[in-house]
Amino acid sequence: MLEADFVIIGSGSAGSAMAYRLSEDGKHSVIVIEFGGSDIGPLIQMPSALSIPLNMSLYDWGFASEPEPHLGGRVLATPRGKVIGGSSSINGMVYVRGHARDFDHWAEQGATGWGFADVLPYFKRMENANGGEDGWRGKSGPLHMQRGSRTNPLYGAFVEAGRQAGFELTDDYNGAKQEGFGPMEQTIHGGRRWSAASAYLRPALRRKNVNLVKGFARRVIIENQRATGVEIEARRQIQIIKARREVIIAASSINSPKILMLSGIGPAAHLRENGVQMVADRPGVGRNLQDHMELYIQQESTKPITLNSVLNPFSKALIGAQWLFFKSGLGATNHFEAAAFVRSQAGVDYPDVQYHFIPAAVRYDGKAAAKAHGFQAHVGPMRSKSRGSVTLRSPDPLSKPVIRFNYMSHPDDWTEFRHCIRLTREIFGQAAFDAYRGKEISPGSHVQSDDDLDAFIRDHAESAYHPCGTCKMGRTDDAMSVVDPECRVIGVDGLRVADSSIFPRVTNGNLNAPSIMTGEKAADHILGRTPLTPSNQEPWINPRWQASDR
């Protein structure tokens, strides 16, 4: 019989962090259940290969949305990591904490103790920041992050164009001031991807009190309203892993609600439809699904200095060899080395638009490169009002859940995206790009009217792969809350959820950092420790926010 004090489902960003912290003092045993295999291969470890594992069934669960009604019925891929390290092993390696106001909003919505002052000490505890603003960043944590070398002149042109357009500059968007144009941070260390597996799980597995069990988590075993273990399928056999103290679900915003529902926790009518015996009626399970969407705005480059020149097999082989032997060169970066967070209009008090900039014109999934030299900005609104859901397709644990993002279902989404396109054109139109700017590849300069822009958005908006919110954290008297502010599932003892599914609202930017922070903070709650002392540092808010967008 396999048993431990704590059983964690999922070895991803939050799960790895919890395995590390819960086992740290040696007093407690931990079992981590992971269905995926090893993350050792070069396709995961080499930063510039990031688009490859994203499309591989070996590393990805292979989820997809239902046809999206507001996007012309398109079905959008929803990659989630099925590998040691979870999605931190197949993501874009971009490190963004989120804005201070995001977390204050969580606290206002009922996630008491998760305001910015409360979470900042956890971000500092986890970080080993190479660079960044003094006093705002952690320097001795397990998670390494760095800035790219920004040797390509187009990165500098992007930041300078932002300044010329009247926007702020920021040297550290993870410090006091998120707003502005500046360098992007990467979870890369020593030329390799630095995932949650590298930072947390592998060091934890060196301890005698931590074990990794390969298996498919079918459901949580609940006896007399208390979680006592996890039913898994391993080597074609059903096994039970017993938890002496607690079961913690950290299986992603797609799999965590699915496992809860299969365990009898969720909307009563939906459980009945699927023949699942109800343990706790929680209507919020699987609701509140959110994501970020983005567009690629692409411009031809008149100078042959972009990455499009190295997309041929010979150049790729050279880059691969340099990375393999020296962990350096173009293979050692994700190419996201310049970024911006800006406000869309006067009256918005903190950034609601994010930019990733790369000196290439190519799709994120690597499937289609432009014919000419080019550069592109990935741009999208940060706080869409659209909400979707994750529901059971059937009571069979092996069947994929039904994912409905309901993208672009709120009229504001369209207004915000049109603004994003026009703003990007304004930035690319600045003098800083004069020496490089060719014609617009995408959408194309002929696409100007609201109707034409909407058609482009409908056909080309993509997920930024930041799903969250499906097991919302909040007050216990809020019917839509799934977990309380200590991540305990409401109505069941000995069971918690801690991953991006508990976010009340999506944070600014990429979700890897707040997901790891969630695991770090949840570990203190699980162990019954007093949370780290809240910070008294004040984030920068643009003094002109009521009058101007810049």
Q: Are 362 and 370 in contact (CB under 8 A)?
A: yes
For residue 350, give the nearest of 172, 537, 101, 26 by alpha carbon: 101
Is residue 252 left, alpha or beta, with left meaning phi > 0 and alpha meaning psi from -120 to 50? left
* Mean per-residue pLDDT, 384-408: 98
| Cα 24 → chain centroid | 26
pLDDT at 211: 98
88 lies in a domain? yes
Instruction: Say how many residues make up the chain.
Output: 550
DSSP summary character for residue 119? H
CA distance 7 to 498: 13
pLDDT of residue 264: 98
3-class state of residue 36 by DSSP: coil
Residue 547 located in a structural domain: no
CA distances (Å), origin 77, targets 49, 68, 82, 410: 18, 11, 15, 21
Least Cα distance to 515 among 95, 39, 164 occurs for 95
Residue 471 lies in a domain: yes
* Token pair of 221 as six digits: 């075993």
Question: Domain total for the chain?
Answer: 2
Which of 228-237, 291-300, 360-369, 460-469 shows the lowest per-residue confidence on average (mean pLDDT)? 360-369
Question: Using CA atoms, how far apart are residues 152 and 424, in angstroms rounded to an integer?
Answer: 20
138 found inside a domain: yes
In this predicted model, what pLDDT tens digit does every residue of 234-286 receive, in sequence order? 999 999 999 999 999 999 999 999 999 999 999 999 999 999 999 999 999 99
Is 292 annotated as catalytic?
A: no
Inform me whether the pLDDT recorded for 222 exceeds 70.
yes
**Residue 201's pLDDT is what?**
98
Pair (206, 318) in one structural domain:
no
Q: Which residues pair with 301 in a beta bridge?
A: 437
Q: Which two tokens stand for residue 21?
A: 């912290």
pLDDT (tens digit per residue) in 401-440 = 999 999 999 999 999 999 999 999 999 999 999 999 999 9
pLDDT of residue 55: 87
CATH (domain of 449): 3.30.410.40
Is residue 548 in a domain?
A: no
pLDDT of residue 364: 62
Contact call for residues 490 and 481 (beta carbons, < 8 A): yes
Task: Please list, in sequence order, all residues whose beta carbon lies within 8 angstroms of the beta carbon of residue 67, skipping any fewer than 6 positions away.
Answer: 73, 74, 75
Instruction: Quick: pLDDT tens for 524-541.
Output: 999 999 999 999 999 999
For the chain, what percent of residues have pLDDT higher than 90?
97
Q: Are strands 192-193 and 216-223 parallel, antiparallel or unpaired?
A: unpaired
**Out of 356, 410, 466, 525, which one is annotated catalytic?**
466
Encode pLDDT of 492-526 as tens digits.
999 999 999 999 999 999 999 999 999 999 999 99
**Domain boundaries, position 14:** 1-143+189-289+389-397+467-533
Question: pTM for the whole thing?
Answer: 0.98
**Are residues 14 and 134 located together in one domain of the fold?**
yes
DSSP 3-state of 334: coil
Are 25 and 166 contained in the same domain?
Answer: no
39-71 residue pLDDT tens: 999 999 999 999 999 989 999 999 999 999 999
**Distance separating alpha carbons of residues 159 and 79, to the nearest angstrom:** 30
Same domain, 234 and 176: no
Residue 206 in this model has a pLDDT that exceeds 80: yes
Residue 188, pLDDT above cutoff 70: yes
Annotated binding site: 5-34, 83, 91-94
Mean per-residue pLDDT over the chain, rounded: 97
- The answer to whether residue 368 sits within a structural domain is yes
Pair 168, 214 in one domain: no
Strands 226-234 and 216-223: antiparallel
Return binding residues for FAD: 5-34, 83, 91-94
pLDDT at 390 > cutoff 90: yes
In this structure, the answer to whether residues 93 and 6 fall within a common structural domain is: yes
Looking up tokens 């996890």, which residue turns up? 230
The identity of residue 429, as a single letter, is G
CB–CB of 266/285 below 8 Å? yes
In this prediction, residues 102-115 reach a mean pLDDT of 98
Q: Please indicate, yes or no, whether residues 83 and 219 belong to a single structural domain of this protein.
A: yes
Residues 60 and 132 in one domain: yes
Q: Report, as an integer, the average pLDDT of 141-150.
A: 97
